[in-house]
Structure 1
Amino acid sequence: MSFPRIQRSGLTEEENDVLLCSVCAKLDFYRILLYGIHELEAIPLGSLSSILEKSYQCSFCRLISLYVRRTRIMEDFPHVDLSEIECVVYTMLNGALRRGPYPPLRFGRRLHITGKGHWQIHPAFSAAGPLIIHLMQEDAFKFGRPVDLHGRRMRNTVDIGLVKKWIKLCQENHGDKCRNVWRMDRNLPEFVRVVDVVSMAVIPAPSGCRYVALSYVWGGNGAEYWTTKDNIAKRSMPGGLNVATLPGTITDSISFVRQLGERYIWIDALCITQDDSRDKVSQLHAMDLVYGLSYFTLIAAGGKTARDPLPGCRPRTRTLQIHIEVVQGLHLFVAPPTQEKALAQSAWITRCWTYQESALSCRRIYFTEQQVYFECRCQVFCEAIVAESKADFSSSFLRYPRGEYFPSSTSSFDSYKSAVGDYTRRNLTVESDIVDAFTGVTNALVAAFRLGDPARAFQYGMMLTELHYALLWQHDPHTPRTRRLLAEGCHSSWPSWAWATWRGAVIYMSQGVNQVSVHETLIDAWYIVDHSGGIVLLDVQRQPPYSSLGGILDPIEMPLDIHRPLKPGTLIFRTTSSHFNITRRGGESIEESSPADHYGLFNILSTIHFPPTWVGTVILPLDPFIVLSSCNSSLKRYRGCLLHVMAVSEFDGLMERVGLGVIHNVAWVASTPEEKVVFLR
């Protein structure tokens, strides 16, 4: 499909078609951008291979070629036949501005290039995202539209005035939506320090001070620039912080904060005494306040170590990736990656510690390799696209939900479940940090949902106030069942029922879409062995209706069946226990499993009748020794006459968690289960 040509004044047809191939010369880009092309009527451009071949002579084909090369599709997937991919172009609206009772003011269109075949189904293209071509802001007047949501020319260094404008717009227009949602009436604890970028000293945070927090990747040992017991006194004096000893990320962050006119910044390597365990513990348990109360968090997502610079903070620290082509008198450019795509390529987003640093912050300024992004709870801004209108955009390609928006729900457990799923997909250098790096999140949950004492609400990363839900976690099937190392060569002594004890990603059992359902709890009371060896009743919220199995469990009777001291973290409760046979679902043998899978679906079989009858499903490690030594312990009931069951291995009266599943209630009752006090280690 093509349009009749419309001649713009001052341009001849020859000038319109200069540096265009025969296919692109037939298109009227002015009219396409003015009136739009629906996706169902997309205009064919030819094969991707032919477009790449013509890129040296056609300015529009060159824009497509630059996108393909920037995303490394050909290098990373050399076997893809580009001649099989037929490309098409259509348009989408940039967005519209809400104007009260008046019709929305539209802000122009952008070009989308897509294709059939591999473009739609191959991971190389789906990961890269759609090819979007924008009109530059200087040409917006040609269409009678404002410059909003058009391309902006970027400089080699970040425009400080633009960043200030982003922060000011958020402050003036978003109100409480982008202020601290955790503890509005709290200040930083007295023991928290900040860097005074004017006096260049590490000082106690002044009461009520406005400060910036830094989130970055350490990338290894940094003893040469850390604050320690030996240098803390010197660094507390004006001028005591020597910039020459600090790595690039930290020096650039200090410089950037100073240019913004701010005075204080919190940087963990400088504000925490790294060789003082007492100081570290107290500071790490205040991370919810440090990041939650910060004016904004500066996120260094453009480097792999603390020694890398902030791209664009200083001259020659970034290479601009925006290339502009003139097509029929219009200035067009390929949009840089969205914030989501840019962060997905960073080392920063793979680290566990950075999860809570971003999730708990109300405002974030991301330094990526491509450009700087500003993000708050209401809007996203970036250097490459003009989007600073004071009004709210009803439809903008810049706005989308944050991956680690927190809390993600008005439900405390749903927010917890979402955080666990995102957090456990990240990596740790020191495995024993798994709970500490999550403490800011759990403290924030306690504050937001008023869960009481953090030490009683959460232990080992588990949400004890909603234990009947929290126990329903499951390993990702590609995760080996390996205990986490808590010390040099020593596996975790933490309890098996806590996800933090095990390496790898965690997911939660669901009924429906992202919904863990507990219709009726069967556990009367939950107890735990504390660090002193005492047995403590947990504050677990009951889910009505409630069915007691055998009356209140008396703590006096608990240790009678155990012939050795109970370790801290042992979970104690009364339930029923029974034995079932299991078989791999689909009749597959363990040897036939995918090498990437470490867990599989097993059928639970009742042997009351012959042949054995399928009565439920359980997810277990692909290890026959563990599986054959297990039994199933009923924990709670699913809606629809199903029970959640936990597969456990038992030794000397103690049980360990092996897997999780569901079973038909009738089959459980028919198996004549025995009532049992469970000591789950």
Structure 2
Amino acid sequence: LCVFCRKQEFFDQQCSLAEKRAAIIARPVKSTKLAPSFRHAPLLLQPAKSRESELCPRCSDYNILSKFEAADTLDELDRDEFLGGHKTSKRRDMHNLNLGSLESLQLFSSCPLCRLMYNSFPFSEFPELMDDLSNISISLIPFRTYERLDESWNVPKDDTLKASYAISFAVVLSGSSFKRLNSSRFVSASEGANASSVIALDQSSAFSNRTSLTGGKIREQLDASFVKGWIERCQTSHGSNCEVSFSDDLLQERVIHVPSMQIVPCPKNCRYAALSYVWGAYKNVRIQNLPRTLKNSIELASILEIEYMWIDALCVDQAPAPLKTIQLQMMDKIYQSAWVAFIVVTGEDSNSGLPGVDLRRSRAPSHEEYIQGRKIISSPPKLSLYVQDCPWSKRAWTFQEGILWKRRLFLTPYDAIYWCNSAQYFEAIDETNDPLHCLGTPGARADIPNEPSRFSTAERVFCDELAAYTSREMLFDADSLNAFLGMLAFYKRHFKFRDFVWGLPLLDLPQSLRWFHDKTVTPRRRDKFPSWSWAGWEGRVRYSEDWEIKPNDRRNSAAFDMSVLFQKVDGQLLTIQGFTVRLKIRTDPFSDAYVPNTDILLGSVRKRNMLHSNTIPTGEYDLLVIQRLRYRRTPNSPEKQEIFMLLL
């Protein structure tokens, strides 16, 4: 089975693609490119399965079933185990199967384990890594299945129960050619956990001592009974973290009545599903002629016996109007009141369809093989691997949707994943037995009490999420603020902000004017918004320093002063109270600030977070002081100052 041309060849035949160094294999960091090869594998493997099969000598000697049953693999989520020195390396490697170099790799079509490894081979496009195939090593490595979860860092230290958890296997590549992709000096289980596809023992064939989180088979079409079970368990067991409460403000919203396919006023205590998807270029969507993604989502709501559906293209006024403004400001309530949200992370537009629901978007089923009567199956990529590079994760409008939903059903080309504020459930993992509650996640948002420390929490959340949001793509500049209004409403309710001024909490934290664009960004102006707001520009926004001194600050006598004070805003005209300063900046070669008309040096000046302070042209500048930080490195050292300024 040739991993270069994706065909069967005689084992002593040199592939022409390999000779030309035109291979398309490497670690799957661009996971959206995995789908074609993942789907192509069954076409080649199915005929091979129909013939008599037995393990090749290499795979027979490895005895993968004994590994499934008894391998004591390193737990890389356990810090004490991971930092065990040479014992760690030995324990990590003792269960690996060394497949040799990429140049000499042989996977036999007559061997069931070879077929599984071929199906799970990490395909992606990195032809520049193919200079020397002999320097790329390949291994089959085992890892604990819970390491593959997107949030499993809270695994308790209970060795007895931990031993009951299933292990999985992954094909990983390593070597000098991969150093610029992987800083690790060794092949680790975390590499396997992040592989494109893994090998697992099916739940029906699990060993009696390892029945926790065994493998689940993926079928071409979604089994709605799984989803119903997940939602029911969430509703009855997860408490306030996942509790959906109806807001009477939603009575002025519109929803789709699924049985009649009519758009109607939202009834009181409405139980509705919502849709998060990539809209694309579709305009003037009508209920009578729906794009496939919208049509499939309503079909799925019907199958799940959910009477109402909310879809932005149909339920939110698309023309500028007072009602649309009200609707956009209520997005956080719309999101948090949804019974469940269907998140379609695949497809370029709203006509792509729902994988596993649309008959034209069937999923690649699990590849399965039998070894000594036990069923071994392929398991799809973990959600974060696929989402990080898909169109949905790059769209500005979907940012607040992904955060504010309480119950999320992710629909990918491979499987369905239910991720709520308390747990995560997978088609590909049997969650029946989970004694350490590895599927539970600590990521739930909670109300922040009205106390002095709340702004410190608010600052961290706001800065991190603003940076993530402003990194995303937007079709229309006019949506720069609209697509973030749901988050701002959430911050107001949870952090008790009085209000936001063009996207900034200036009434409570006027020092939030200190934002700047990351050095990697070439900002582009958005004229409909003020230049002093992040909304007035395209490009990732950052903050260089905390807005307030944290209790654990190691600097001595650290304190802020000279902070600006908000006065009022009239349209885009902002009035603030603060200090202005005129500086003479000389860049020769680095930018230094002087008192104008003198040689009195004040200090060095750096623009944004540029690596070097040499990007400001020589000249005189008027600047607004946003805030000054004063501190000492040691109690008796001279005072240092950092002044954050805005060029006027």
Q: Is the 8 A contact 1:215 1:357 kept in 2?
A: yes
1:84 is matched with 135
Output the TM-score relative to the length of structure 1: 0.71
Q: Is the 8 A contact 1:113 1:130 kept in 2?
A: yes
Tell me how far 1:102 sits from its aligned partner: 11
Tell me how far 1:110 sits from its aligned partner: 2.0
Q: Which amino acid aligns with 1:206?
A: P
> d(CA) in 2 for partners of 1:102 and 1:26?
29
Q: Is the 8 A contact 1:219 1:305 kept in 2?
A: yes
Secondary structure in 2 matching 1:107 = coil
1:93 equivalent among 126, 129, 144: 144
Tell me how far 1:374 sits from its aligned partner: 0.7
Q: Is the 8 A contact 1:73 1:124 kept in 2?
A: no
> d(CA) in 2 for partners of 1:54 and 1:420?
48
Secondary structure in 2 matching 1:20 = coil
2:401 is matched with 357
Relative to structure 1, is the Cα distance of residues 117 and 510 closer, same or farther in structure 2, using a 3 angstrom cutoff? farther
Tell me how far 1:639 sits from its aligned partner: 5.3
Relative to structure 1, is the Cα distance of residues 627 and 330 closer, same or farther in structure 2, using a 3 angstrom cutoff? farther
Is 1:133 the counterpart of 2:163 in the alignment?
Answer: no
> d(CA) in 1 for partners of 2:389 and 2:477?
23
1:501 equivalent among 536, 540, 552: 536
2:228 is matched with 164
Is 1:295 the counterpart of 2:339 in the alignment?
Answer: yes
Tell me how far 1:114 sits from its aligned partner: 3.3
Secondary structure in 2 matching 1:116 = strand
Show CA shifts across 1:288-321 (max 9, x none): 1111111111112222111111011133422315
Q: Is the 8 A contact 1:156 1:315 kept in 2?
A: no
Relative to structure 1, is the Cα distance of residues 392 and 579 closer, same or farther in structure 2, using a 3 angstrom cutoff? farther
Q: Which amino acid aligns with 1:87?
A: I
> d(CA) in 2 for partners of 1:615 and 1:100?
51
2:643 is matched with 645
Is 1:104 the counterpart of 2:161 in the alignment?
Answer: yes
> d(CA) in 2 for partners of 1:99 and 1:420?
33
Secondary structure in 2 matching 1:325 = strand
1:343 is matched with 387
Q: Which amino acid aligns with 2:269?
A: G
Q: Which amino acid aligns with 1:167?
A: I
Show CA shifts across 1:360-400 (max 9, x none): 110111111111111101211121111245x664446xx66
Show CA shifts across 1:415-473 (max 9, x none): 21121011111111001101010000000111112223xxxx21221122443442232
2:25 is matched with none
Larger Rg: 1
User: How many residue pairs align between the two structures?
Assistant: 543
Tell me how far 1:611 sits from its aligned partner: 10
Tell me how far 1:613 sits from its aligned partner: 7.7
> d(CA) in 2 for partners of 1:135 and 1:636?
59
> d(CA) in 1 for partners of 2:155 and 2:623?
57
Relative to structure 1, is the Cα distance of residues 120 and 266 closer, same or farther in structure 2, using a 3 angstrom cutoff? same
Correspondence list, 1:10-49, <5 A:
19-36=54-71, 37=73, 38-49=91-102
1:526 is matched with 566
1:72 is matched with 124
Is 1:462 the counterpart of 2:528 in the alignment?
Answer: no
Tell me how far 1:104 sits from its aligned partner: 2.9
> d(CA) in 2 for partners of 1:357 and 1:170?
19
Relative to structure 1, is the Cα distance of residues 189 and 444 closer, same or farther in structure 2, using a 3 angstrom cutoff? same
Tell me how far 1:87 sits from its aligned partner: 2.7
Is 1:176 the counterpart of 2:176 in the alignment?
Answer: no
Comparing 53-62 and 247-256, the one that deviates more: 53-62
Relative to structure 1, is the Cα distance of residues 420 and 127 closer, same or farther in structure 2, using a 3 angstrom cutoff? farther
2:321 equivalent among 270, 274, 277: 277
In percent, how many aligned pairs have the same letter? Answer: 24
Q: Is the 8 A contact 1:212 1:297 kept in 2?
A: yes
> d(CA) in 1 for partners of 2:395 and 2:517?
19
Q: Is the 8 A contact 1:630 1:647 kept in 2?
A: no
Q: Which amino acid aligns with 2:165?
A: F
Tell me how far 1:118 sits from its aligned partner: 5.0
Tell me how far 1:505 sits from its aligned partner: 1.0
2:491 is matched with 445
2:297 is matched with 253
1:635 is matched with 626
Is 1:471 the counterpart of 2:513 in the alignment?
Answer: yes
1:262 equivalent among 306, 313, 317: 306
Relative to structure 1, is the Cα distance of residues 122 and 54 closer, same or farther in structure 2, using a 3 angstrom cutoff? farther
Output the TM-score relative to the length of structure 2: 0.74
> d(CA) in 2 for partners of 1:216 and 1:169?
25
2:187 is matched with none
Secondary structure in 2 matching 1:462 = coil
RMSD of aligned Cα (Å): 3.8
> d(CA) in 2 for partners of 1:471 and 1:524?
9
Relative to structure 1, is the Cα distance of residues 623 and 120 closer, same or farther in structure 2, using a 3 angstrom cutoff? closer
Show CA shifts across 1:209-255 (max 9, x none): 111111111111322x24xxxxxxxxxxxxxx53xx11101111111
> d(CA) in 2 for partners of 1:281 and 1:383?
39
1:555 is matched with none
Secondary structure in 1 matching 2:349 = coil
Tell me how far 1:51 sits from its aligned partner: 6.8
Relative to structure 1, is the Cα distance of residues 128 and 607 closer, same or farther in structure 2, using a 3 angstrom cutoff? farther
Relative to structure 1, is the Cα distance of residues 100 and 630 closer, same or farther in structure 2, using a 3 angstrom cutoff? closer
1:412 equivalent among 438, 458, 464: 458
Secondary structure in 2 matching 1:458 = coil
Comparing 342-351 and 270-279, the one that deviates more: 270-279
Q: Is the 8 A contact 1:24 1:45 kept in 2?
A: no
Tell me how far 1:569 sits from its aligned partner: 3.1
Tell me how far 1:256 sits from its aligned partner: 0.5
Q: Is the 8 A contact 1:460 1:500 kept in 2?
A: yes
Relative to structure 1, is the Cα distance of residues 581 and 273 closer, same or farther in structure 2, using a 3 angstrom cutoff? closer
Relative to structure 1, is the Cα distance of residues 260 and 515 closer, same or farther in structure 2, using a 3 angstrom cutoff? farther
2:608 equivalent among 595, 619, 622: 619
Tell me how far 1:143 sits from its aligned partner: 3.9
Is 1:428 the counterpart of 2:485 in the alignment?
Answer: no
Secondary structure in 1 matching 2:628 = strand
